[in-house]
Amino acid sequence: MNRDRLDFGNEKIGRLFRAMFFPTLVAMVFNSVLNLCDGMFVGHGVGSDALAAINIVAPMFLICIGIGLMFGIGASVIGGIRLSENNTKAASIIMTQALTVGTAIFLLIDILCLVFIDDVLRLFGCSEILRPYATDYLIWLLPGLPFLFIQCAGMMLIRLDGAPRIAMSIQILAATLNIVLDWILVFPAGMGIKGAAVASSVSCFVAALPVVIYFGWFSSKLKYYRLKKSWKSLRLTLRNIGYMMKIGFATFVAEMAIGVMMVTGNYMFMHYLGENGVASYSIGCYLFPVIFSITNAVAQSAQPIISFNYGARDMARVRATLKIAVITAFFCGIMVSAVMATAAPLMCAVFLPSAAPAYAIAANGLPLLGSCAIFFALNITFIGYYQSIEKSVRATIYMLMRGIVFLVPCFLLLPGIIGDKGLWLAIPSAEFLTFGFIIVSYIVLRNRNSKSEPKATE
Minimal CA–CA distance to 380: which of 302, 287, 319, 455? 302
Q: Report pLDDT for 457.
A: 39
- The answer to which of 30-44, 234-248, 429-443 has the lowest mean pLDDT is 30-44
Q: Report pLDDT for 2.
A: 46
Q: Report pLDDT for 1.
A: 45
* Residue 142 DSSP class: G
Cβ atoms of 221 and 308 within 8 Å: the answer is no
The per-residue pLDDT for range 60-81, each reduced to its tens digit, is: 777 888 888 889 888 888 888 8
Spell out the domain ranges in the chain: 13-455
Minimal CA–CA distance to 222: which of 306, 152, 315, 153? 153
pLDDT at 378 over 90: yes
pLDDT at 324 over 60: yes
Q: Report pLDDT for 458.
A: 37
pTM: 0.73
Cβ atoms of 61 and 54 within 8 Å: the answer is no
Q: Report pLDDT for 205.
A: 93
Q: Report pLDDT for 456.
A: 39
Q: Report pLDDT for 5.
A: 62
The per-residue pLDDT for range 102-158, each reduced to its tens digit, is: 999 999 988 998 888 888 888 877 777 888 888 888 889 899 999 989 988 888 899
Alpha-carbon gap, residue 219 to 147, rounded angstroms: 19
List b or e across 110-132, with b for residues whose CB sees 16 or more CB atoms inside 10 angstroms: beebeeeeeebbeebbbbeebee
Average pLDDT over residues 225-248: 84
Over pLDDT 90: what percentage of the chain?
A: 15
The per-residue pLDDT for range 273-322, each reduced to its tens digit, is: 887 887 888 888 777 777 777 878 888 888 888 988 888 888 889 889 99
Alpha-carbon gap, residue 312 to 310, rounded angstroms: 5
pLDDT at 374 over 50: yes
Over pLDDT 70: what percentage of the chain?
A: 94
Q: Report pLDDT for 330.
A: 93
Q: Which residues contact 391 (CB under 8 A, 6 or more apart)?
A: 457, 458
Average pLDDT over residues 33-46: 71
pLDDT at 328 over 90: yes
Q: Report pLDDT for 273.
A: 83
Q: Report pLDDT for 455.
A: 43
Average pLDDT over residues 418-447: 88
